[in-house]
Amino acid sequence: MKKHLLLTSFIILAPFVLISCVSSLLKEKAPTFSKDVEFDAPKGSFYQLEKSVFPSWKNKSTGNVISIFSDCQTETPKTLNDLQKYIEDSVENSKRAKEAVVQYQNNPALQLLIQGELESNPIEVQSISFVRSGCGYVVSLAGKPQQLKLDQTSYDQFLTSLKFK
């Protein structure tokens, strides 16, 4: 279970660490989280992961992680697929098990179920990407395939709680 928790944290945090490193090398601004979004943190067994630039919470019972990522760099506008690559690139042998263009708060969004591995352990990531006021966002729920559904309600409530200025 400890290894699973570590792996789940890694999959969520790895893209953000890599972005920070690349930004430093390219002398770009370090990533920051959008100031134009408000939300209610997941409740219950979730606790906030403090080491990420982007808000993330882990369920201490299931090991699942809910996170939200934003990209507001206007020099490089992102498509919904570009935004999803942040997640896909952190999963080994990733494949899109489900993909749908949906409406999220009256705007187009790309919803995915990504299956793959992290250090040879199976992992699933449910995610949705969308653009609001020039910023791209990805909200995700990641964990072991058999555990993901246990936190579906918390993930849905988090998505519903998002408010944009």
Question: Which CATH number goes with the domain that contains 125?
Answer: 3.40.1000.10
Q: What is the pLDDT of residues 51-94, one digit of tens each?
A: 877 899 999 999 999 999 988 876 766 799 999 998 899 999 99
Q: For CA atoms 86, 155, 104, 53, give the dihedral sign.
A: negative
Mean pLDDT across 108-126: 96
Does residue 19 contact residue 26 with C-beta atoms inside 8 Å? no
Helix-, strand-, coil-residue percentages of the chain, each rounded to 5: 30, 40, 35
Task: Quote the domain boundaries for residue 31.
Answer: 2-164
Instruction: State how far the Cα of 128 lies from the Cα of 125, in Å rounded to an integer.
Output: 10
pLDDT value of residue 110? 97
Mean pLDDT, range 37-44, rounded to an integer: 92
Instruction: Count up the domains in the chain and report the number.
Output: 1
Residues 123, 142: contact at Cβ < 8 Å? yes
Residue 44 CA to residue 158 CA, distance in Å, equals: 12
* 10 pLDDT more than 90: no
Mean pLDDT of the chain: 85
Task: Write out the E strands in 6-164.
Answer: 37-38, 46-48, 56-59, 65-71, 92-104, 107-118, 121-132, 135-143, 163-164
Q: ∠ CA 94-51-87 to the nearest 5 degrees?
A: 15
Whether 54 contacts 67, CB under 8 Å: yes
| pTM assigned to the model | 0.79
Q: What percent of the chain has pLDDT over 90?
A: 60
